[in-house]
């Protein structure tokens, strides 16, 4: 934007944490509800594994829903090449080995696309303002000073 001061990292991390909790709350409550039903089984390792196995389905659905099929296909092929043939034969596109990196890459690519689409109008405003100021002969006036109010009005 051209602003010299941005919020400190602590504020940005806090905002990211709050937004993550907000987005993942339905998935977390569903996972908790599934584990709650198996709470009375006992504290053995088998019961813990059974509880974790039943609780992972809401997370799996969330990851599959928010990952692109192209990335899932890519990581499926990559995992099949990296694994032993007997392990690769049982691998599906809904395994966590495939959907976790696919989700990560999908979210990063969407974030870069959004960042670029937000950056582009600001760049155009800077170029237009600096060309107008140069045409008017106002070389000593900073284009950032003039373009900042326009950027704030745009956003």
128/143 same-domain check:
yes
> 72: how many CB neighbours lie within 10 A of its CB?
21
pTM of the prediction? 0.78
Q: Quick one: 146 exposed, middle or buried, by C-beta within 10 A (0-12, 13-18, 19+)?
A: middle
34/86 same-domain check:
no
Which domain range does residue 8 map to?
1-65
13/82 same-domain check:
no
| Residue-wise pLDDT tens digits, 74-126 | 999 999 999 999 988 998 889 999 999 999 999 999 999 999 998 898 889 89
85/143 same-domain check:
yes
User: What is the count of structural domains for the chain?
Assistant: 2
DSSP H or E run through 12: helix 9-37
Residue 35's pLDDT band (cuts 50, 70, 90): confident
């Amino acid at each position: 934007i051209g602003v010299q001061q941005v919020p400190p990292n602590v504020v940005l991390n806090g905002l990211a944490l709050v937004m993550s909790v907000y987005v993942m709350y339905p998935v977390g409550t569903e996972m908790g509800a599934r584990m709650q039903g198996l709470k009375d089984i006992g504290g053995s390792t088998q019961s813990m594994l059974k509880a974790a196995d039943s609780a992972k389905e809401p997370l799996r659905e969330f990851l599959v829903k928010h990952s692109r099929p192209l990335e899932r296909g890519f990581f499926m092929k990559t995992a099949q090449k990296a694994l032993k043939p007997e392990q690769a034969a049982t691998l599906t596109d809904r395994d966590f080995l495939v959907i976790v990196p696919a989700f990560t890459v999908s979210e990063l690519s969407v974030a870069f696309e959004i960042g670029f689409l937000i950056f582009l109008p600001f760049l155009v405003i800077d170029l237009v303002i600096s060309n107008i100021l140069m045409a008017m002969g106002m070389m000593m006036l900073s284009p950032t000073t003039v373009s900042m109010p326009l950027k704030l009005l745009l956003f």
